[in-house]
């Protein structure tokens, strides 16, 4: 926020759901030392849908894992809402993840013996939290699985299974959802269903989503794209379209080859 911002603009400025400041992650030492994150500073606005793109090995998953408290970082700071992650004990981190963070992975990670609805409410059940019925109905209404809620994962298509996984991430009304290539295992039609649901969860339900993707079309569902390369934020794009994302990716490609 610039210093000259008035009280009014500050009031209307979107708040930040998660923030990394100088976030650094080093794996290994000596010859195997890899700087996966090299002082990354980035903010994810509340109620926004952000895509993260970048070449393989650029640190996208590491950034998510460190910001979500799934992995410890080497330096800098990461916050979820007002909570600083560095210095939290394991038990506090587990609680933070449970209460404030939703995850969606490339592989759907549903429990095969539970039906769709049971999978959606499982994290709440484990945490001993009562689902907010109104919220749950809203999610179930948005996910577009009416008539399929009593089906097991094996009776659902890939896109339907991933929508169950997104609904599960939403069930606890988290501060933020991190999705790592959620459409990576899906054909384009099923992918579009999942992306539509993620977008609706932001636009209609006011949730905050950060999604890693390699696909310019998937990225175009987001409000903003953040580009990573070699563990650094190199660029960002607002109101992306598949074309503007592709153009930006080509630009990096050329830079990479000429430097
Ligand atoms: N557990 C680990 N031990 C050592 N190095 C690791 C580990 N995890 C990741 N790395 C390294 O850190 C760097 C960033 O990896 P990361 O998985 O974050 O990349 P990514 O952008 O998600 O790539 P992809 O698009 O292939 O998923 C890579 O060089 C990777 O080899
Ligand atoms: Mg990755």
Residue 9: pLDDT band (50, 70, 90) is very low
Q: How many angstroms is it from 60 CA to the middle of ligand 2? A: 6
What phi and psi values does residue 141 have, to the nearest 5 degrees?
A: -65, -35
Q: Whose CA is nearest to atom 25 of ligand 1?
A: 56
Segment 24-30 mean pLDDT: 96
Pairing of strands 209-212, 49-53: parallel
Quote the CA–CA distance of 61 and 58 in Å, as a whole number.
9
Segment 163-175 mean pLDDT: 95
Q: Whose CA is nearest to atom 24 of ligand 1?
A: 56
Q: H or E segment at 188? A: helix 188-203
Q: What residues pack around ion ligand 2 (CB closer than 5 A)?
A: 61
Q: Which of the listed residues 32, 61, 228 should we mutate to test ligand 1's pocket, taking the one with most ligand atoms within 8 A of CB?
A: 61
DSSP state of 186: S
Give the residues surrounding ligand 1 with Cβ less than 6 Å away: 27-28, 34, 36, 54, 56-62
Q: Which of the listed residues 25, 27, 74 should we mutate to test ligand 1's pocket, taking the one with most ligand atoms within 8 A of CB?
A: 27
Closest CA to 113 of 78, 142, 155: 155
Among all bound ligands, the one having the nearest atom to the CA of 32 is 1
Segment 52-66 mean pLDDT: 97
Instruction: Give the length of the chain.
Output: 259
DSSP state of 47: T
CA 148 to chain centre: 25
Quote the CA–CA distance of 104 and 142 in Å, as a whole number.
17
Segment 174-188 mean pLDDT: 95
Q: Whose CA is nearest to atom 11 of ligand 1?
A: 36
The pLDDT tens digits for 237-255 are 999 999 999 999 988 776 5
- Tokens (6 digits) for 23: 């976030």
Asked whether 173 and 135 are in contact (CB, 8 A), the reply is yes
Q: Whose CA is nearest to atom 7 of ligand 1?
A: 27
Maximal C-alpha separation, the chain: 57
What value does the mean pLDDT of the chain take?
91
Residue 256: pLDDT band (50, 70, 90) is low
Whether this prediction's pTM lies above 0.85 is answered by: yes
Segment 11-19 mean pLDDT: 78
The pLDDT tens digits for 104-156 are 999 999 999 999 999 999 999 988 888 899 999 989 888 888 789 999 999 99
Strand partners, 18: 44, 80
């Amino acid at each position: 926020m610039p210093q000259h911002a008035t009280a009014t603009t500050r009031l209307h400025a979107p708040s930040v759901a998660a923030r990394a400041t100088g976030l650094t992650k080093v794996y290994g030492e000596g010859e195997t030392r890899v700087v996966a994150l090299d002082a990354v500073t980035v903010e994810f606005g509340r109620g926004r849908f952000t895509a993260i793109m970048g070449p393989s090995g650029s640190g996208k998953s590491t950034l998510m894992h460190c910001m979500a408290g799934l992995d410890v970082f080497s330096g800098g700071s990461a916050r979820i809402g007002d909570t600083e992650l560095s210095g939290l004990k394991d038990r506090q981190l587990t609680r933070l993840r449970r209460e404030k963070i939703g995850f969606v992975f490339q592989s759907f990670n549903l429990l095969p013996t539970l039906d769709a609805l049971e999978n959606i409410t499982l994290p709440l059940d484990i945490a001993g939290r009562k689902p907010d019925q109104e919220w749950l109905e809203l999610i179930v209404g948005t996910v577009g699985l009416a008539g399929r809620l009593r089906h097991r994962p094996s009776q659902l298509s890939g896109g339907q299974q991933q929508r169950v996984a997104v609904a599960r991430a939403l069930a606890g009304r988290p501060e933020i959802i991190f999705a790592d290539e959620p459409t990576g295992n899906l054909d384009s039609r099923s992918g579009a269903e999942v992306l539509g649901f993620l977008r609706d969860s932001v636009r209609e339900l006011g949730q905050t989503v950060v999604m890693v993707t390699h696909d310019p079309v998937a990225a175009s569902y987001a409000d903003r794209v953040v580009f990573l390369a070699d563990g650094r934020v190199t660029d960002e794009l607002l109101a992306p379209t598949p074309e503007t994302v592709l153009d930006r990716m080509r630009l990096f490609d050329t830079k990479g080859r000429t430097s």
